[in-house]
A and B are shown apart, each in its own frame.
Chain A
Amino acid sequence: MWAAGTLAFTALAAVPVLAVIYLAFTPGENIWPHLVSTVLGGYVTTTLILMLGVGAGTLIIGVGTAWLVTMCRFPGRRLFEWGMLLPMAMPAYIIAYVYTDILEFAGPLQGALREIFGWSSKRDYWFPEIRSLGGAIAMMTLVLYPYVYLLSRAAFLEQSVGVFEASRSLGRGPWRSFFTVALPLARPAIIIGLYLVLMETLNDFGTVDFFAVNTFSLGIFDVWMNMNNVSGAAQLATVLLVFVAFLVIGERYARRKQRFHHTSTKMQALPGFQLPGARGILATAGCLTPILFGFVLPTVILMNYAWRHFDPELTQEILGHALNSIRLSVLAGAIAVVIAIFMAYGARIRGSRLLMVANRIAAMGYAIPGAVLAVGVLVVLGGLDNSIDGFARENFGLSTGLIFSGTIAAVTFGYLVRFLALSLGTVEASLGKVTPSMDGASRSLGRGAFATMRLVHLPLIRGSVLTAVLLVFVDCMKELPMTVILRPFNFQTLATFVHQYASDEQLGEAALAALSIVGVGVLPVILLSLTIAKSRPGHGAGQIAAQIAEREA
């Protein structure tokens, strides 16, 4: 039963991706040559530049602040330990809307500048164009660097301080020691962080759509929605999958190496280099800047807008959308956790390689960009609807129409495929901490597999089960590309509502909804912060890293 169930779930999770690939290779109307000769080159270059920019940006901010926070002592360090995570709560598309509103030609900043300097038109001065590739890089860097920060911080904490000190005692200065010892040791963890960042970059739709930056995600939408060409979208999606495959392989490679990079895990107080005077202030400013621009400023602006544009009627409407979001996300979170418990526990008690591999495959959805999954889900459910309809017509002479396409079920299915990894990783990690002798004890005392799960495992992993529900819930609340494509007609969630209004340059009206999404996004940040607060060198931080890494495995 465990095997059959697990394989069925895995098949369900894999079907959308397989459908995309299948469709790409059996196009109805082949526009591939057309794509290659026109837009493909642009998509590839833009996507690569975006990845490069965001990668470099998050590396510098993430690794730099992680090093400062773990190894140095300066004003505000304790606060920054978890404060650096805050921008995680902010979806890239939301700060993109906010900064555009502030920085565009008609926005308050340029207006003020014109006032002050007496410029009257665009020609009179130069101002960076926010709605550009560079702008997109900046937006994503600001909200994605926490992944790199989190993983590097854990890696620095796990390094034996002794190694670093040995290097210094051998005559290398702190900078050279950092680059020759600490950084290479932390490299595998940093690469995993970077992988998460790049996955999110490929997944982004809201920002690039708003900025009209032609990445693959946007291209897939364009070909799908505007050119109305499914095969073309599938072909683009498949090329995007190649990017993903490279990332996954790179990450696997880093992870394999990581095993050999663990130095001693002795508990040891970190040295804490005191940064004196000006250098301390500089460190504080360095850590404060990304938090300020990645979280505080946009939040304050959104609050201001929400206050100024408050409208009871609109608020009523937003409440309705919020309820939609919550229902969908709770549903997806609950189902994802039940499936995760089933699959993780099945693999545990069967101990079979097949099930473990199946679980890894089922968790791959997290690496697949939302746009690709959306196409896959649509194709699969559309095909299913057509065949049911055809069957009914032939046998009963009536048309069933579309049963699954454009329903809540379709959206939920998409969410589950993409976010199952979150719940599976969390449940697996916490089940892994229950020693196998617990199973043995319960079984030998006469309880069967289900009773053992109910009486022993579930009470022991209760906390993690809630965490798993929360993680899936939050990501579903923020999710945009799949929701936009898969939702029923006229059905709005907070994310689609914000997307729609902000795209129409009515950010004021969307501010309250955007704030709600950010508010929900803060929940996992708090959770992580609590874990960090409890963590000690070489101890809890490793678990966070493991958990984050597990989410992706």
Chain B
Amino acid sequence: MVEITRSFEIEVEAIDADHRQLVEIINEITQAIDDGRAGECADLVPNFVEFSQQHFAREEALLTKHAYPLAEKHRQHHVGLTDKMKNIQALSERAADSQPAADALRKELVFILMDDVINEDLAFKSFLMKAEARDTSGDDAGS
């Protein structure tokens, strides 16, 4: 079971919620593999890929909105994940009849989510937290 623990939190609710959603999808997939229902992977993995893309878009918008200096670099990083997404999709189609493929898929999903997606986001954690806090207090003052 994968889980978003404290050290993986960005502490910006919109993003953490997305990340938790991604974790849920992945736990569903790994559960399926562990229960010998690897056939379901072919349907579930596209969900993950699709939701990732939506999340990337939302995240990039937020970074741009707050004028994060390295926003473009982070966008490039998201684009750079395309090949890995293709790879897990290919693996998911083979997972039903190849245990090694299923194992590789399971492993790779966790790494992509935790190391490639969330870890990289932690780079803008403090920037975004401050920016959001400023906005909120600014809103309060205005209202």
A–B: direct contact at CB < 8 Å:
no
